[in-house]
Amino acid sequence: MSRLASIIYHLSRLILAGVFIYAGVIKGTDPVAFAGQVANYQLLPYAWNYLVAAILPYIELLCGMLLLLNKRVRPAVLVLFVLNLVFMLALSSLIVRGIDIDCGCFNPDAESKTSPLMALWRDAGLMLLLISVWMLRYRQHPPGTNDGD
């Protein structure tokens, strides 16, 4: 990997690690409030919002930690890619249904509001970072090599 590619890889990896560790910690410390944010999407039955609120922060936290440590990067990126795709579908459904709520992406108790459209753009940016990390890691360790992932 060239020096520039290496800088882009590590920078993207660290940004993603920071974002998802922060998101996981902030949601995991108040899962009931986060369940309320999930419920605002009006996609799941009552109790399932609590199930999502119990699990999702730990997926984000674990993947963020792996990215920070530069270990098992591609499995973590794959999980976060799928997760982000689900977030983007949920946000799109809010826009289609005309529901204007705070996305609940980070702090469930935050007074400032992030609109679904703004959150969608942010998630699109995260997707680009995830793809960059995947591709650059892929170039560093092509299939069939022992990449230590």
Residue among 16, 23, 53, 90 that touches other proteins (CB under 8 A): 53
Q: Rule CB under 8 A: say whether 45 interacts with other proteins.
A: yes
CA–CA distances in Å: residue 137 to residues 17, 20, 65, 76: 15, 19, 17, 12
Question: Using alpha carbons only, what angle is made at residue 15 by residues 14 and 17, rounded to the nearest 5 degrees?
Answer: 60
Contacts of 118 (CB under 8 A, 6+ apart): 103
Q: Rule CB under 8 A: say whether 144 interacts with other proteins.
A: yes
Q: Rule CB under 8 A: say whether 128 interacts with other proteins.
A: no
Q: Rule CB under 8 A: say whether 72 interacts with other proteins.
A: yes
Footprint on this chain of other proteins (rule: CB under 8 A): 28, 31-33, 35-36, 39, 45-47, 49-51, 53-59, 61-63, 66, 72, 74-76, 78-79, 143-145, 147, 149
